[in-house]
Structure 1
Amino acid sequence: MNVTRIALATGVAATSVLLLSGTAFAHVSVQPQGEAAKGGYATVNFKVPNERDDASTVKLEVNLPTEHPLASVMPQPVPGWKVEVTKSKLAKPLEVHGKQITEAVSKVTWTADSSKIGPGQFQQFPLSLGRLPEDADQMVFKALQTYDNKEVVRWIEEPKEGGEEPESPAPVLQLSAATEDHHGGGARDASAKDDAKNAGHAEDKKSQAASDDSSDSTARVLGIVGILVGAAGLAFGIVAGRRRAGA
């Protein structure tokens, strides 16, 4: 009997831990679709789970980091949600493709229109971002999640390296190392391929020219031999004719 009670208590405790752990880690997060490389462009998804059993999420506000302003921020339409993009003036203009950018997106807000994130559900909100900073390993996006009962959850605590995860951590986008493709490497590779291709064509032309020269030389030799053989035949015919006439 005691063994049964102990096993039952242990099972209940383990289940409680799992449930609490699931709730603790069900926070707003951000993940790239593919790769988010330094200095490049990326599409990211903000994943918003509903943590309440008696309320639905009706609003998400994502604040973009001011220390790394982005020249290009474009939201992808989400059915049933309205999106608003807020821009702010930059203290220091950005230089992008030879042009100065004096303002950048500072906040993106999604508001439920004909849809909500109900209990036990989640929703993803995609954003296209660029160019990503080259001098940072990550980007922190502070977010506010609003429920239809007026409750607001502030996901704004920045995780500290080596420390425990905060109770309400802000979404963090990890940036990978820059690749050549993001800095013209693809163009250089294409140029190298074109050079190799052109070099191959040049070699083919040289080979063809050498083959043509060889054919011409052979034709000349055969022509000269033909002339010599013809001349020898003609001389032989003249000599033979004279002999017959003398006889």
Structure 2
Amino acid sequence: MFKSLIPAMAIVVAGATSALAHITLETKEAPVGSIYKAVFRVPHGCAGKPTVGIRVRIPEGVIAVKPQPKPGWTLAKVKGKYEKSYDYYGTPTNEGVKEISWTGGSLPDDEYDEFVARVYLAGDLKPGSMLYFPVVQECADGLTSRWIEIPEAGKKADDYETPAPGIKLLSKP
């Protein structure tokens, strides 16, 4: 009985490993016009090397970005103008954080960690659509993994080798 279970378990584990092989967001959907806690999950390094940096590009319509510091890592924010002005609780907002990076730490390939930012999903984002956060994972010895592929219409993230983490936008609460 156990001999027949081992191959089946190996297939399940292999499938789970490939599904978790890239950087993902913990919460897969969120309503527009609300606060969203973006938890970027990093399950491995690059080709066996430790992760030493994570850079996240903030998509248009995501404002009031507040990244969470991590002990042992240096946090940096790149600010700039938005393509348009957004309403943030009655205050027009036309500039803010466009990229976040955590660098200088070391996350071994065989360990897992999370990088977090609190953001506001503007009310004029389109419910029912996907919103992607491209991520560049920097590793020791100059290696990088670029999780930046955004699916074309009619395709899914699973159709790509290096998909950007994304969430499905829901209607306002």
Q: Of the two structures, which has the highest relative contact order with CA contacts closer than 8 Å and spacing of 6 or more?
A: 2
Q: Any unmatched runs of 5+ in structure 2?
A: none
Moved more, 160-169 or 79-88: 160-169
CA contact (8 A) 2:46 2:143 kept: no
| Mapping of residues 80-99 of structure 1, within 5 Å | 80-99=72-91
Using the TM superposition, give the Cα deviation of residue 53 of structure 1 relative to its aligned residue in structure 2, in angstroms: 5.8
**CA displacement, residues 77-127 of structure 1 (integer Å, 9 cap, x when unaligned):** 2222111111111232233344332312110001134xx111221110111
Match of 1:27 among 2, 8, 22: 22
> SS of the residue aligned with 1:22?
helix
Moved more, 21-30 or 120-129: 21-30
What is the TM-score of this pair, normalised by structure 1? 0.58
Structure 1 residues 61, 102: CA separation in 2 closer, same or farther (over 3 Å shift)?
same
The alignment of Structure 1 onto Structure 2 pairs a total of residues equal to 166
What is the TM-score of this pair, normalised by structure 2? 0.79
**CA displacement, residues 162-217 of structure 1 (integer Å, 9 cap, x when unaligned):** 555200010002233321xxxxxxxxxxxxxxxxxxxxxxxxxxxxxxxxxxxxxx
Q: Distance in 2 between matches of 1:100 and 1:154?
A: 33
**Does 1:144 pair with 2:148?**
no
Q: Any unmatched runs of 5+ in structure 1?
A: 1-6, 180-247
- Write 1 or 2 for the structure with the bigger share of helix: 1
**Does 1:103 pair with 2:98?**
no
Structure 1 residues 14, 79: CA separation in 2 closer, same or farther (over 3 Å shift)?
same
Bigger-Rg structure (1/2): 1
> SS of the residue aligned with 1:168?
coil
CA contact (8 A) 1:26 1:51 kept: no
> SS of the residue aligned with 2:32?
coil
CA contact (8 A) 2:87 2:93 kept: yes
Q: CA-atom RMSD, angstroms?
A: 2.9
